A and B are shown apart, each in its own frame.
Chain A
Amino acid sequence: MSSLAVQKVPSAAGTTGTAQGRPPLRNRIALVPTITLLLGAIYCLLPVAWVVIASTKSGSELFSTFTFLPGTGFMDNLTDLSAYRDGIYWQWMGNSALYAGLGALLSTCVSAFSGYALAIYRFRGREAIFNVLLAGVLMPPVILAVPQYLLLAKADLTDSYLSVLLPQILSPYGVYLARIYAAAAVPADIVEAGRMDGASEWRIFTRIALPMMVPGLVTVFLFQFVAVWNNFLLPYIMLSDDERFPITLGLFTLLEQGANTPALYTLVITGAFLAVIPLVALFLVIQRFWSLDLLSGAVKS
């Protein structure tokens, strides 16, 4: 930390987007922070690097060659995985894309409606409704998932796409985020001005508020997409037909079968590698739209 010299030069522009900014001069590297962050990055990338390399190894190479030495069997592994049970792996990927894509889209809409209402309007029961919705975050998924299963079984809906989609549309965390974003990004006077012009509440929401909320809603969509894609417990409880499994559940059953037959290890590893790609790619592509600074930046603009 001592390498961080105190800057006494008052600066005009900074990179932080704040009014005064911080000194723009970056001629010396802060060693301790940089090294700490690099160590953190290595720790976080290690298992990912491992799976990338391990997926290139054939069954025998996996156990005989050094872990971080690439193998020669990636195409074979890919062919084997695609051939496994007539390509059910790709069915799982498609299912996950459906659950996460459609689920997150619906969830973002519901969050946008609710967050906007809770941020912009003053009405009876506002805080009570917000607190009750937020309390949903605190419920252990199991106290929800088991009775959800039993109730959906009464409606004859278990083991269906709907049984995984429907319970995940309402995201208390999404509502919470949308409320914060709406409060930060939609100025009350603009809503009031819209009313003065005679616009309906719905029109004010869709034409004025929604475009302002988009950066925040992208974040809500991402969070919910990841939450649904990564969810394991709900499909684990709801589904028994593996044609409808998402990728998490599919990989788990593959591991269960493969645990006693190391020959299946390569399939599990290749499958895990491919399952990681879509989300990582999504993150890399979307991070440019993704405004971390929304809370700090947008309020001021």
Chain B
Amino acid sequence: MTTTSRRSYGVKGAPYAFLLPAATLFALFFALPIGYAIWLSFRKVKVSGLGLGSGARREVWAGVENYTDALTDNELVDGALRVLGYGCVVVPVMLGLALLFALMLDSDKVRLAPFTRLAIFLPYAIPGVVAALLWGFLYLPDVSPFYFVLERLGLPQPDLLDGGPLYLALSNIAVWGGTGFNMIVIYTSLRAIPAEVYEAAKLDGATPLQIALRIKIPMVAPSLVLTFFFSIIATLQVFNEPTTLKPLTNSVSTTWSPLMKVYRDAFGTGDIYQAAAEAVIIALATLVLSFGFLRAANRRNRQEAAR
């Protein structure tokens, strides 16, 4: 940095200097682990002889063996199907509620808006583990108010922690925890719409419902796409809630979700190579699904813009 070129160098080099901490952390804690996981996924341990002695267990090249094993593994496929079914409930319900609440908050003459906004957002502040724990107790017949009410009314009392209801029980935890955050994202972009946009429609006598459907929802479409995108990613990675409910029921296996299976294989059975291959597959599946959605959404937007 000489004195003559100081200013231009300072401006040119500055963004890179500002980005240095992030780049270093990215290299160490994102790029390197991902690269290492991919490397491990093509490796395996070869045991020679009886597996005794220091040279008996050697790490060797495995090719795609770990991948074919993972893709033909019923536990992983079943887990993926469970999570897909779970996601088909969670994502639409959560975002539907988030959009509904955001539109309600944005409507004229609504009362108690600051209170309800905070209350609906509150679950976001509660750790997933604690949320699962709270709902887990609410699902337990011995302590649950729901069962108390059902019993008094003489209605049948389904086991919420088994079979089909278990999906709904887990979905409910995710919906409860995620609606508020998405509501705030959508609400923020609703607030960013200039009021002039509504004025003409209002003067023309459009009802609030018409304004919501024809003006507001199309205008917040980009943030809806974004919340959908991130919800898909988060849903496919579900781990905390089923893991937390596991001590309360026998119906949640150690491989209920694909991520739980990765954890079990890496730390339970100790096959880090198999676990690495599974983790890579889950990451790829997540990327394909989420970006597939994003592309489909963008194509639709473009078509609508062209109309």
Contacts and interface: CB of A to CB of B under 8 A. Distances in A.
A-B interaction: yes
Interface of A: 1-2, 4, 6-8, 14, 16-23, 26-30, 32-34, 36-38, 40-41, 43-48, 50-51, 54, 62-63, 66-68, 109-111, 113-114, 116-118, 120-121, 123, 126, 129, 132-133, 136-144, 146-148, 150-151, 166-167, 169-170, 175, 195, 200-202, 205, 226, 229-230, 232-233, 236-237, 247-249, 251-252, 255-256, 258-259, 262, 265, 268-269, 272, 275-276, 279-280, 282-284, 287, 292-293, 295-296
Interface string B106-121: 0111111101111111
A34 B244 CA distance: 35
Interface of B: 7, 10-12, 14-16, 18-19, 21-23, 25-26, 28-30, 32-34, 36-37, 40, 97, 100-101, 103-105, 107-113, 115-131, 133-135, 137-138, 142-145, 148, 176, 179-180, 184, 187-189, 191-192, 194-196, 198-199, 202-203, 205-209, 230, 233, 236-237, 239-240, 243-244, 247-248, 259, 262-263, 266-267, 272, 275-276, 279-280, 282-283, 286-287, 290
A8 B202 contact: yes
Sort A-B residue pairs by CB-CB distance and give the 9 closest, nearest first. A41-B119, A117-B18, A259-B247, A67-B145, A147-B33, A33-B104, A37-B116, A170-B25, A296-B192
A294 to B, nearest CB: 8
Contacts, number: 317
A6 B29 contact: no
B110 A33 contact: yes
Nearest to A96: B127
B107 A30 contact: yes
A4 B237 contact: no
A30 B108 contact: yes
A139 B236 CA distance: 11
Contacts of B118: 283-284, 287
The A contact surface, by secondary structure, is: helix
Contact of B280 (A48, A143, A293): A143
Given A36-B101, A37-B101, A236-B263, 7 more contacts: A8-B202, A29-B110, A37-B113, A45-B122, A137-B233, A142-B259, A276-B130
Contacts of B263: 142, 146, 236-237
A147 B20 CA distance: 23
20 contacts: A1-B208, A4-B207, A34-B111, A38-B112, A44-B123, A48-B122, A116-B18, A129-B23, A137-B230, A141-B237, A142-B263, A142-B279, A146-B262, A147-B32, A151-B33, A175-B22, A233-B239, A252-B129, A255-B247, A292-B188
Given A2-B207, A248-B130, A143 B34 contact: yes
A140 B205 CA distance: 48
